[in-house]
Structure 1
Amino acid sequence: MEMLWILLALLIGVLIGAVGTAVVFRARNTALAERTAIADTRVAELRAQIDTQHQQRVSDDRVLRELLPVRTELERMRGTVQTLEQERLELHGQISEQLRVQAQADVELRASTEQLASALKSNTERGSWGESQLRNLLEATGMLEHIDFDVQQQFTHDDAVLRPDALVHLPGDHALIIDAKAPMNRYLEAMQLPTPGTEEDRKRRKQLLADHARTVRGHVDALRVRDYPSAVPGSPRLVVAYLPSESALSAAVAADPGLLDYAFGKDVALASPVTLWAILRSVAAAWQQERVTESVAEILELSSQLYSRLGTAAGHLAKLGRQLRGSVDAYDSLVGSMETRVFPTARKLGEFDGASKPLPTSKPVGKAPRPLSAPEFTELETAERTSEESGVR
């Protein structure tokens, strides 16, 4: 009985072990299945990643192939940018050099301007400058010294020696008197004031320009007192007062609006470089027209002389033709006399001398001078024949 229970216990233990073993194997199979499923899922994911990476690589290759021309253009653009940068640097250097030269020129110009301003403050230097400007203007219009104009020519009037700066000759033994002055002290001082400046600067500038206008008016009075037109023969009642600065004359007229009328009343014409240039060009045109008129008159006189001399030559030619015709007639008469009178007698004498040679024969000329058919010849010949017949009668 105990053996039975022992066997039963053993059998029950074996069954319990088998069941436990089955449970363990089932758990292991379940875990293994789960691991297998996870591995399959991971493999699928890896395959998907590989496919995605392959597709990405293919897309990247296609993009790289499409971007290859862009890369070429970028390289070309990089070269162009480098060239432009090099040119920019060179141009920057040139501009810097030009700016340096311009700065140096500005310094030299400023120094020259200061020297000119200092020189113009001297009455002597300013007068020489005005005379030089006047000479340049006269030569610029094509006039010649000692032919069309004279400078610094002296005249005596009322025991006073007058010497205008220039005397421009006009057609018909007339002359235009030009006096060059440059009264610009006050004007230069006004121009040195800042613009627009303060109220004090503006008042000072206005006062200086008014003084400048009074100086010009005083110069007009001085020219009136000198009375150049009375001393210069053939001069109109007018003196040209030349101011070698457009701005100086404009400033004087702006400060004194009645200045021009005042000068006209004193027989003085205030002229700037532009105004005087127009006057001189008009004088040059008048001289040119005068020379053309003189040339036309000379041509007409020469034409009249030539026509008269042609008539005289035609008379001589007609006379020579008549003389030639008379010479031909005399020659033909001599030939006829020799052949009909002299040669027959000479031949008879030659018969007595066997060594004599036969006499040469002469032929008449048989040509007369060409008849004159031009009216100038025929009319002259008819007139001479008529006069000869009247003399014979």
Structure 2
Amino acid sequence: MAIEKIEKQLKDTFGAAAADALKNNNEAFIQLAQQTFQTQHESTKGELDQRAKSVSESLERFDKNLNQLHKAHGGLMSRIDGLGKETENLVSALQTPKVIGNWGEMQLRKVVEIAGMEEHCDFDVQKNISTDEGRLYPDMIVRLPGGRSIAVDSKVPLKHFLASFDAENEEERSACLEQHKRSVREHAKELGSKAYWDHLEDTPDFVVMYLGDAVYQAAIQVDPNLPEDTLRNHVILAPPSILIMALRTIAYSWRQEKFSEHAREISSLGKELYERLKTLSEHFDGIKKGLARAVKSYNSAAGSLESRIFVTARKFQDFGINPDVSLTSPPPVEETPRALSAPEFHETVSDEETSDD
């Protein structure tokens, strides 16, 4: 009984001690866990706050940029709308005959400037030509060396050409380009019927039809034989590249013509100068002969003075008249005029001697 009692007491004692130890350990663990959590919480909260602040600032910048983008988009749309209206107005204007004509003439002038023909004044714009049927008005007359000339007309068939860009499918676009080709052909036929070459002097039997490069390319894309066909009607289709090349060739011919003209003028001036030098040499020959005659006359007079006058005058000294005054004979002139040795002078003298004979 005593042993059982002791065992029970020991169990109770150890149980109480174990319970106390477990309780103390649990409390220590909980306290440590709370401290660790508190530390981690504070550290994590600081990092989260920092990241949240960074994200907030990024969102603010994004919102600001987005607002600016909206404003820019609004301005861009406004400009696009304005550009669309201007494009519509331009397309509408380009369908007006007067505007088309002025635009074509302006392009033609620019081509002439690029080719260097304007500074030489080798073209007349809008010069009218009188005919039995009325007046013809070519856009330009290109003057060639030798009094020849070529008529140039600018044509701008844009209606079907512009319509091809608004086509909704390839079939519709092809139909527009086909109409465009026909329009170019009709313009060429009408231009050929005017027969400018019959009303301009010394002009080849053709007229140049100027077309914009895009207009020309669109037409020959559909009909590559179009240039040959229009040539049969005495019409040469000329986009800017071809017309500039032709005008530069003509400008070169004008420069060569001016060089030849200058050479002829120089030759004429040389001939005139030669004739004047010949006349001057004749004058020099006359002066030489006059000087020779003067020297001869002087020497004859000096000899006569010495041999006749002074001999008699010295006899007065024998009578005491001016005995202190001596009479000095003038010396003869020994030098003669220098003869001109140039062959032209001898030729002149020979001509004069021949004419005298």
Q: Does 1:301 align with 2:301?
A: no
**Structure 1 residue corresponding to 2:163, chosen from 189, 192, 204:** 189
Q: Determine the structure 1 residue equivalent to 2:98.
A: 124
SS at match of 1:253: helix
Q: Is contact 1:157-1:230 (8 Å) kept?
A: no
Q: Determine the structure 2 residue equivalent to 1:324.
A: 291
Matches within 5 A, 1:68-83: none
Gaps of 5+ in 2: 1-68
Q: Does 1:168 align with 2:136?
A: no
Q: Does 1:201 align with 2:164?
A: no
Partners of 2:352 and 2:119 lie apart in 1 by 56
TM-score (norm 2): 0.70
Q: Is contact 1:171-1:290 (8 Å) kept?
A: yes
Gaps of 5+ in 1: 1-95, 194-199
**Structure 2 residue corresponding to 1:224, chosen from 192, 212, 219:** 192
Q: Determine the structure 1 residue equivalent to 2:341.
A: 373
Q: Does 1:140 align with 2:114?
A: yes
1:240-264 superposed Cα distances (whole Å, 9 cap, x missing partner): 0011x21111001111222112111
Q: Is contact 2:125-2:138 (8 Å) kept?
A: yes
TM-score (norm 1): 0.64
1:276-319 superposed Cα distances (whole Å, 9 cap, x missing partner): 11111111111111222222223233333333333333233223
SS at match of 2:142: strand
Partners of 1:117 and 1:317 lie apart in 2 by 82
Partners of 2:163 and 2:201 lie apart in 1 by 40
Partners of 1:298 and 1:185 lie apart in 2 by 54
Partners of 1:229 and 1:145 lie apart in 2 by 25
Partners of 1:246 and 1:274 lie apart in 2 by 8
One-letter amino acid of the counterpart of residue 280, structure 1: L
One-letter amino acid of the counterpart of residue 124, structure 2: D
Q: How many residues are treated as equivalent by the alignment? A: 282
**Structure 2 residue corresponding to 1:292, chosen from 259, 267, 289:** 259
Residue 149 of structure 1: how far off its partner (Å): 1.1
SS at match of 1:269: strand
| Residues 262 and 353 of structure 1, relative CA distance in 2, 3 Å threshold | same
1:340-364 superposed Cα distances (whole Å, 9 cap, x missing partner): 3223433444665459855565222
Matches within 5 A, 1:38-57: none
Moved more, 130-139 or 265-274: 130-139
Q: Is contact 2:149-2:203 (8 Å) kept?
A: yes
Partners of 1:147 and 1:171 lie apart in 2 by 12
Q: Determine the structure 2 residue equivalent to 1:364.
A: 332
Q: Is contact 2:125-2:139 (8 Å) kept?
A: yes
Q: Determine the structure 2 residue equivalent to 1:233.
A: 201
Partners of 1:215 and 1:327 lie apart in 2 by 94
Please provide the CA RMSD for this pair: 3.0
Residue 114 of structure 1: how far off its partner (Å): 5.2
| Residues 283 and 113 of structure 1, relative CA distance in 2, 3 Å threshold | farther
Residue 184 of structure 1: how far off its partner (Å): 0.8
Q: Does 1:159 align with 2:127?
A: no
| Residues 369 and 235 of structure 1, relative CA distance in 2, 3 Å threshold | same
Residue 335 of structure 1: how far off its partner (Å): 1.8
SS at match of 1:369: coil
**Structure 1 residue corresponding to 2:313, chosen from 327, 341, 346:** 346
Bigger-Rg structure (1/2): 1
SS at match of 1:303: helix
Partners of 1:111 and 1:336 lie apart in 2 by 114
1:146-188 superposed Cα distances (whole Å, 9 cap, x missing partner): 9411111111222321111111111221110000111111111
Q: Determine the structure 1 residue equivalent to 2:15.
A: none
Q: Determine the structure 2 residue equivalent to 1:197.
A: none
Q: Is contact 2:150-2:207 (8 Å) kept?
A: yes
Residue 135 of structure 1: how far off its partner (Å): 1.6
